[in-house]
Amino acid sequence: MNSRKTFECFGLVIHGFGLEDTLSHIEDTKTHGGQSWIVTANPEILLYAKRTPSYWQTIRQADLRLVDGTGLQFVGWLSGASPKRLRGADLAEALIRQAAEQGRSVAFVGGDPGVADKAAWAMRQKYPALRVVSEQGGTIDAEGVGDAANEEVLHRLTMNAPDVLFVAFGHPKQEEWIKRHLADLPSVKVAVGVGGTLDFWAGAATPAPKLLRAIGLEWFWRLIREPRRWRRILDAVVVFPLVFLSDRLRQKK
C-alpha cells in the first residue's frame, strides 16, 4: 500500500496528514520554538488560489496545507498518494481538547457579531478547564487589512497571549490576516483558519449528519440547507476536479 501522504495541486504541496501526524508536527515545531500555521485546504480554497496569484503566494507560506474535502483527497489519489482527510472542525476541536488538558489558552477571532462569544461558551461547557478568549475581530478586507476595531483586537490578543489561535474570517481574509499578524503574536504556537466552524459551535449553523460527513457528501447537505451557495458548491464538486485534470493533461503534453 502506498504510504506517501504528500502531493501537489496547482503547484502547492498538500500534506495529507491525519490527526496524529498533524499534532506531532505541531509539537515538534513548538519544541524548536517555532509557530505552526495550518491551512485546512479544500477545493474552493485551491481554486481561488489558482485564480489569484497573491493568495497562492500567501497559502504557500503556511507550514501545512491539509486535506479538508473529499475532492482534494480524490486529487491526491489521482496523484499516486494516499492522503488522509482531516476536517478543519475535527482538528480545531482536537487542539481545544489538548489545550484544556494541558492548561493552555485559546482564542477565537472572527465570525458574525456574537458568534465567537457563543462558540467560546459552548466549548467551555464541553471542556470546563478550557481558558478561552473571543473577539469578533472588526472588519477585514480581502488583503487581510483590518479597521481600527481590528487593531484593538490585536492589542488585546497580545495582552491575553493565547497559545492557540482560531481565525474565522473565511478565505481569503483569514489566511491573509494570519500571514500579516502571526509574527506579531509570539505567544501563539499554532494558528488555524477555521472558516464557518465557529458557526457550528455557536449553534448558528447545523453540521451535516455524521453519515454524510463520513462519505464525503457534506456539500449535498450544504446545498439542501443553503441553496444560494450552489455556485460555490458547483466550483468545489465539479469545476475543481475538471480544472485539475485539465492541468495534468496539459503538463503531460
Q: What is the DSSP string of 139-197?
A: -B-TTS-B-HHHHHHHHHHHHH--SEEEEES-TTHHHHHHHHHGGG-TT-SEEEE-TTH
Q: Per-residue pLDDT tens, the chain, 253 aa: give them.
A: 457 899 999 999 999 999 999 999 999 999 999 999 999 999 999 999 999 999 999 999 999 999 998 889 989 999 999 999 999 999 999 999 999 999 999 999 999 999 999 999 999 999 999 999 999 988 999 999 999 999 999 999 999 999 999 999 999 999 999 999 999 999 999 999 998 899 999 987 767 677 666 666 666 566 566 666 656 666 666 788 788 888 877 776 6
For cell 507560506, name the residue: 61
Q: Model's pTM, two decimal places?
A: 0.89
Instruction: Specify which residues 168 forms β-bridges with.
Output: 110
Angle between helices 88-102 and 19-31 (to 10 degrees): 50
pLDDT given at position 97:
97
Which domains, and CATH codes, for the chain? 6-202 (3.40.50)
Cα separation of 154 and 160, whole Å?
A: 10
pLDDT given at position 253:
61
pLDDT given at position 182:
96
pLDDT given at position 3:
73
pLDDT given at position 72:
93
Q: What is the DSSP string of 50-78?
A: HH-HHHHHHHHTSSEEEE-SHHHHHHHHH
